[in-house]
Structure formats: structure tokens, C-alpha cells
Amino acid sequence: MKPVRLLVLGALRRRGRAHGYQVRADLESWGAHEWSTATSGSVYHALKSMAGQGLLVTHETVASEAGGPPRIEYELTRQGEREYLDLLGRALADREPSLDVLGAAIGLIEDLPRERALELLRERARAMREWRASITAYLPEGTDLATWGPVGEVLSLWLSTADAGAQWTDRMIRRLEEGAFTMAGE
């Protein structure tokens, strides 16, 4: 999954209706151009592509007084809303999203009801622990990965990643349980 699709849908959902420049400006105000692959070109491409897929409806506005063609404004369709919530859910629950996809999902987490966000994060924490267990299941008792050479380092990287991912997710779950953020419907 690419973060630009999730980010563009999220920005449009929050605005209701917007043209490409507004969406791009929103993403830049979030710093998304620094931590994700969302560039101005990818934003406009995503808007056109998703409109063609029926996820967005287009509205042509009057040409600006400064000249130039009329701007096209975009708005989520019901299908676009479903796609957005599906992408957001998968990014939060998956143990393997890239950091920019996970970052986008966390930035948009308030679009979900608290219980739904908790359910997805618990699924992610479970997946991280299952991944760790699948790695250690085949290691002989008392294995010292430092003696396994480069393969041991790969396994150590995976175990460290699983541990860090589970710890971070557990922290996020606790924060939500304690009432952090204003979630959808609150």
C-alpha cells in the first residue's frame, strides 16, 4: 500500500470537497512531503486515478479571476469512504506496513471510533507477537544468535523489530484506553 492514496482520501474526507492544490497544501502542512512518498505529482495523479475508479466525484468550478482553466474539486463517494476506512484499518492492523503508511494511519486515527481503533491496534500487537513467536519457534533452546553470523543478525533484527513494534503498539493502545485524542463520534 502506498501512503499517498490513504493521505489524499483522508485529506479530502476532512475537507469534504477540495481541489488538488488544497489537498496538497493540507498534506504539506502535515509534513507528509517529508516523511512519505506523497509529492505534488503523486497527489494529482492519485486524485485523477481515484476519480476514474469511482472513489471520488469531480466538480468543475469557475475559472479563477487570475486566469487559467477552471479548477476541479473532488469529493469522496460512498465507495471512496469505504476504501478510505478499509485502507486506514489495514494500515493500523498490519504488522508490516512501511513507516510512512503507518505514520499516515496514525495521523488519521481520529477518523475512527475509539473502539474500532483499539480493535485494530490490538490486532497489530497480536500479529507482532505471533511473528516473534514464529521466529523463535524453530530456534534451539539457549540459542546465541551472535554465534550464527549474518543469519543471526537478520534474526536479531526481526526479533528487535517485532519487540519494538509490539511495545509501541501497546503504548498506543494504553493512550487510547486512557482517553487520548478526540475520536470519531466523541
DSSP at 156:
H
Residues 117 and 137 occupy one common structural domain: yes
Over residues 108-126, mean pLDDT: 98
Query: Residues 6-19: pLDDT tens digits?
Result: 999 999 999 999 99
Residues 53 and 141 occupy one common structural domain: no
Residues 27 and 93 occupy one common structural domain: yes
Question: Is the whole-model pTM more than 0.75?
Answer: yes
Counted domains in the chain: 2
Listed residues 88, 106, 124: the one ending a domain: 106
Is pLDDT of 159 > 90?
yes
Q: How far apart are CA 133 and CA 145, in angstroms?
A: 15
Over residues 40-48, mean pLDDT: 90
Residues 128 and 147 occupy one common structural domain: yes
**Cell digits of residue 82:** 469505504
Query: Residues 46-93: pLDDT tens digits?
Result: 999 999 999 999 998 767 667 777 789 999 999 999 999 999 999 999
Residues 26 and 62 occupy one common structural domain: yes
Query: Residues 161-183: pLDDT tens digits?
Result: 999 999 999 999 999 999 999 99
Matching residue, cell 543471526:
152
Residues 102 and 119 occupy one common structural domain: no
Residues 94 and 119 occupy one common structural domain: no
Q: How far apart are CA 14 and CA 51, in angstroms?
A: 17
CATH number of residue 14's parent domain: 1.10.10.10
Listed residues 73, 106, 139: the one ending a domain: 106
What's the CA angle centered on 115, arms 114 and 118, to 5 degrees? 85
